[in-house]
Amino acid sequence: MDNKTHVTRPRRSRPHADPAGPGPERLRRPGGLADHPVGRPRADLRGHRPAHRRSHLSALRGQRPQERKAMTMTSPTLAPRTRLLRSGDKLLVAKDSEVRTISGAAAVDLVDTLVRSANGPRLPVPSDAGPEWHAFLALLTEAGLVTTDPAVARASGQARLLWDRCGQALPIQDIDSALRRSTVPVVGSGTVADRIRQIVQEAGPRVVADRAAGACGADVPGAVAVTVVVGESLTDPALLDHNAWALEHRAPWLAVVPDDAGRSVVGPYVVPGSSACFRCYLLRRTANFPDRRIIGELSTAEPVPTNTPRVQLLGMGWFTAALAAEKVLERVALGDHSSMSAPGSLASIEPARPGVEVSEHRVLRVPRCPTCSPAAGHGLPQVWFHGGERP
């Protein structure tokens, strides 16, 4: 039994499942690799052939040529976001809310040796790799521990993570190219702006201060080089100025306000012609203020200049910068497959008890927005739009 290798298929944990109930069901492929002893002990990696070696040609004969060719790839790479745990003669492959198990002393020892001797994400390949090795590699691929696509081995770590985040729906070489060849403008000053530059640049794209110098480095559907503009407040003239420029040049951009009366705002992500603009957001924010008596004053209020520097919790600043950078990197590399940068999306971050509260919103276009709507100045305003004094 020690030389048998089994793969337990995963089950997602259910929030209301009985914790004392039965564990995950163990399934075997009839006549497949899981029913045969696979793998070699540690000594075989040093060129010694074990006495109990068994051939797996029988497991390979029933496969199609393209499947056999896929198994013979010699650049196995550890799958992104996967954690490997060992419990006696079992390996637990954990990812998200799923756990797969690999059992069998020989296989467990071999995987343990491979992972410990790996240089980066690539696993070493035995010099005498034959049918047994390829069968074992197929088993590890089925368990979700490795991938055998050479493009994955060549891609950067950030590209592998983003490729996995989009469900591997895009070619990883396109994601990697987008990160390495794109140019992302970051406009603004201060600690949060500097941290956004640092995170984006470490992920691969070049960062510039010229808002007109953005460029996307790969042909990914929906991918654009998003300009990030960091303002002092929501009424910062720099944000409204860039909003007008972006509408004129049809340039997508992301607003970031590190401190808006105690909370941070990342967004909205503005796509001219497809989403609400920044003026739309300000109008809707004012119209939704709970005290109706001062809505008119809020809509025309301007910031009072001050020489007192704003002070923000250091952790909140990093949190804001990280969220903004992730939204930009997803749009640059994943395009329409991005889940964090939908047009009009906005995130609000504020300290809570306990922890930090992040709320996601979708800003809709104002039908007669004076900045972006073709219908501005035509017809009567909507009943909720308070652009001036109430009658």
- Give the count of alpha carbons within 13 A of 84, CB side only: 20
The pLDDT value recorded for residue 220 is 92
pLDDT band at residue 73, thresholds of 50, 70 and 90?
A: very low
CA nearest 329: which of 341, 316, 313, 343? 341
The residue-averaged pLDDT of 131-140 equals 84
92-105: buried (b, 16+ CB within 10 Å) or exposed (e) per residue? ebebeeebbbbbbb
Q: Is the dihedral of CA 351, 269, 174, 249 positive or negative?
A: negative
The pLDDT value recorded for residue 74 is 52
- Which residues, other chains included, contact 319 with Cβ-Cβ below 8 Å and sequence gap of 6+? 264, 349, 356
Q: Is the dihedral of CA 7, 12, 13, 19 positive or negative?
A: negative
Q: Cite the residue boundaries of each domain of the chain with CATH code 3.40.50.720.
A: 159-362
Higher pLDDT, 191 or 61: 191
The pLDDT value recorded for residue 102 is 86
The pLDDT value recorded for residue 132 is 82
CATH of 159-362 given 3.40.50.720, 3.30.1360.200, 3.40.50.970, 3.30.450.20: 3.40.50.720
Tell me the percentage of the chain whose pLDDT exceeds 70. Answer: 75
pLDDT band at residue 149, thresholds of 50, 70 and 90?
A: confident
Instruction: Give pairs for 78-85: CB < 8 Å, separation 24+.
Output: 78/115, 78/118, 78/121, 78/122, 78/123, 78/145, 78/146, 79/144, 79/145, 79/146, 79/147, 79/164, 80/157, 80/160, 80/161, 80/163, 80/164, 81/161, 81/164, 82/144, 82/145, 84/111, 84/115, 84/145
The answer to whether 310 and 318 have CB atoms below 8 angstroms apart is no
The pLDDT value recorded for residue 377 is 65
The pLDDT value recorded for residue 272 is 96
pTM: 0.74
| DSSP for residue 119 | B
Q: Is the dihedral of CA 224, 230, 235, 239 positive or negative?
A: negative
Kindly tell me if the per-residue pLDDT of 328 is higher than 80: yes
The residue-averaged pLDDT of 29-37 equals 33
The residue-averaged pLDDT of 237-256 equals 97
pLDDT band at residue 141, thresholds of 50, 70 and 90?
A: confident
The pLDDT value recorded for residue 379 is 62
CA nearest 125: which of 162, 184, 73? 73
Q: Render pLDDT for 82-119 as a digit per residue (tens, 0 to 9).
A: 998 999 889 899 988 889 888 888 888 888 888 888 87
